[in-house]
């Protein structure tokens, strides 16, 4: 079939719908960076935002080269194979009713979103350079095979009967487990970061989010774009896509109100941070089930996700967490990892055959509560466990391997160094920390989101020593 004939076979309405959804979903990636920037101290704000841009850049190249083929190419039950490397033959051939190239682009955005969330585990501590090879390897060996297992026609978990509408396991469990693995490795480095005396995790300090404006913008963008994230998963404009958007919004709303209300009950103050985390908890819980549950169930999911997520968040503030060097700067473990695990399991409880069939073609056996299918619950548990073990174990190994390479030490330096005084002609005897305490912006970036962050910032000569 020629490209033009294949294009004529595609639905223009569905194509336009998924194209618009893709544009909206792309905004989630920098919005995740905004959220991490808001959570970080002002000395780390730009370095916490920047990995999100690295994620979309590296993932785009990797997806074109290998990722799409490994995730959706023909292969075995775990890997998709190499039939579509470099997008050979990926043009207008319909996938459902949209061109395959658009399907690939939509799935790329999923991959980059998961990656942007996952590398939050390195916020305020991890160096930026090692993230580039890590992201490429992670997309190749962690995300692509997991997406293939869950969503590909011949994937292991798909054939097992797992219900995962928009990514409870490939999106949230994968990102949360990866972030947790990175964070633990930075606390207990094994290779070059461990051998170097200047790289020690002495800097573990809990702090409040420094920039609520970043959190506010991130909340607005993510909440809005996640409606397209779930609705677009149907790959067509039909009543099921409409329903998915509606239950997604409702679950986020109930989650935001629940978390914020619990905080108000305890402190007597309303909190944007609590509202943000509650909405995220709701979005996480609804992701695997958006195409399988009704409106009333969505409200309950939001309340459940926010309530349990808030309790899980307390873990990082305990004495035992400090003793174990537990760091979760982006709160990915409480919201994404545990929330994704919970969302995957409750999908097996409350999925409904009637709702799944709103697109006119999907047939499922349903879940426990409405359809009496107890077997679905065990399938969901198996999916969640495999997703966590695959993501956590594989990410830990990959991060450690990158740390083995000279020059790619993953942990920022934490040594004492001498800095010149403000007058500039003598050395101050004050000892200051390098990299992490001074700020990752100062050590890893050439710019800052805040004025006068480090000495000499006002003396700007970007082309000094360069012939123009």
Per residue in 241-295, pLDDT (tens digit) is: 999 999 999 999 999 999 999 999 999 999 999 999 999 999 999 999 999 999 9
Q: Is the pTM of this model over 0.85?
A: yes
Q: Report the pLDDT averaged over residues 410-423.
A: 55
Q: What is the pLDDT of residues 88-101, one digit of tens each?
A: 999 999 999 999 99
Write the CA distances from 380 to 32, 169, 384, integer angstroms: 27, 10, 6
Q: Domains along the chain?
A: 3-403 (1.10.3430.10)
pLDDT band with cut points at 50, 70 and 90 for residue 414: low
For position 466, what pLDDT does the model report? 56
pLDDT band with cut points at 50, 70 and 90 for residue 467: low
Question: Which of these, 96, 107, 124, lies nearest to 6 by C-alpha position?
Answer: 96
CA–CA–CA angle 96, 231, 3 (5° rounding):
30
pLDDT band with cut points at 50, 70 and 90 for residue 201: low
């Amino acid at each position: 079939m020629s490209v033009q004939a294949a294009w004529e076979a595609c639905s223009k309405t569905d194509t336009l719908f998924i194209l618009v959804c893709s544009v909206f979903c792309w905004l989630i990636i920098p919005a995740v960076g905004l959220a991490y920037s808001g959570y970080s101290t002002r000395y780390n704000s730009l370095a916490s935002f920047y990995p999100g841009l690295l994620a979309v850049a590296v993932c785009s190249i990797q997806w074109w080269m290998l990722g799409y083929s490994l995730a959706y190419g023909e292969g075995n039950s775990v890997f998709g194979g190499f039939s579509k490397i470099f997008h050979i033959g990926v043009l207008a051939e319909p996938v459902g009713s949209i061109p395959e190239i658009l399907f690939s682009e939509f799935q790329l955005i999923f991959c980059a979103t998961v990656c942007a969330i996952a590398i939050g585990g390195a916020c305020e501590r991890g160096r930026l350079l090692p993230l580039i090879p890590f992201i490429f390897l992670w997309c190749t060996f962690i995300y692509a095979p997991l997406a293939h297992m869950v969503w590909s026609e011949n994937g292991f978990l798909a054939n097992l009967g797992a219900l995962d509408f928009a990514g409870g396991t490939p999106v949230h469990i994968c990102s949360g487990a990866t972030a947790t693995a990175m964070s633990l490795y930075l606390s207990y480095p094994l290779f070059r970061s461990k051998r170097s005396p200047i790289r020690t995790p002495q800097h573990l300090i809990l702090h409040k989010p420094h920039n609520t404006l970043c959190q506010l913008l991130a909340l607005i963008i993510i909440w809005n774009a996640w409606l397209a994230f779930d609705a677009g998963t149907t790959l067509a404009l039909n009543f099921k896509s409409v329903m998915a958007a509606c239950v997604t919004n409702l679950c986020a709303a109930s989650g935001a109100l629940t978390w914020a209300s619990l905080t108000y009950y305890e402190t007597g103050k309303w909190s944007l941070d609590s509202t943000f985390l509650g909405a995220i908890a709701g979005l996480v819980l609804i992701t695997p089930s958006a195409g399988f549950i009704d409106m009333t169930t969505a409200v309950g999911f939001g309340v459940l996700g926010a309530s349990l997520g808030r309790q899980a968040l307390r873990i990082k503030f305990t004495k035992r967490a400090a003793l174990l060097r537990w760091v979760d700067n982006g709160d990915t473990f409480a919201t994404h990892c545990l929330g994704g695990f919970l969302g995957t399991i409750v999908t097996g409880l409350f999925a409904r055959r009637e709702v799944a069939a709103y697109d006119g073609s999907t047939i499922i056996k349903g879940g426990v509560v409405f359809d009496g299918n107890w077997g679905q619950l065990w399938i969901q548990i198996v999916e969640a466990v495999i997703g966590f073990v695959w993501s956590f174990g594989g990410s830990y190994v990959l991060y450690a391997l990158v740390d083995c390479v000279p020059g790619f030490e993953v942990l920022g330096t934490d040594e004492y160094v001498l800095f010149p005084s403000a007058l500039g002609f003598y050395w101050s005897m004050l000892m200051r920390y390098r990299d992490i305490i001074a700020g990752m912006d100062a050590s890893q970036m050439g710019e800052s989101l805040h004025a006068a962050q480090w000495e000499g910032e006002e003396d700007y000569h970007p082309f000094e020593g360069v012939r123009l």
